[in-house]
Amino acid sequence: MSAQNAMPLPLSLDSVVSVAGNHYTADLEGEMAILDYSAGTYFGLGDVSARIWKLIEQPCKVQQILATLLDEYEVEQTQCERDLIQFLDKLYAKGLIQIV
């Protein structure tokens, strides 16, 4: 296997991401719990993270997610972009999302 195949795909603003796998989600009044059946683990998401999860229930460009967050929350664009990419990278590393 080549080194390129062993590395995860890099996320960019042009990447399209969506929820992956078999998960159960529960809305907890603005926050969200995600149960990953395959790993037998669960994850708690705060309000902004839960909003991102809702946006990626259908395939969505990272740029569209960023634009929505900038419209809905008072946040500086550079900070929002950095935090969004880091969050999506974590979800990807745990197998919760896919890059399509």
Q: Where are the domains of the chain?
A: 13-21+48-99
- Look at residue 8 in the predicted model and tell me its pLDDT: 55
Average pLDDT value for the chain: 87
- Look at residue 27 in the predicted model and tell me its pLDDT: 84
Tell me which residue of 47, 51, 25 sits closest to 36, measured CA to CA. 25
pLDDT at 15 over 50: yes
Q: What is the pLDDT of residues 37-63, one digit of tens each?
A: 777 888 899 999 999 999 999 999 999
Exposed/middle/buried for residue 94 (C-beta within 10 Å: 0-12, 13-18, 19+): middle
pLDDT at 1 over 70: no
Scan for tokens 């969506």, then name that residue: 18
- What are residue 26's DSSP bridge partners? 33
For residues 6 and 27, which has the higher predicted lDDT (pLDDT)?
27
pLDDT at 91 over 60: yes
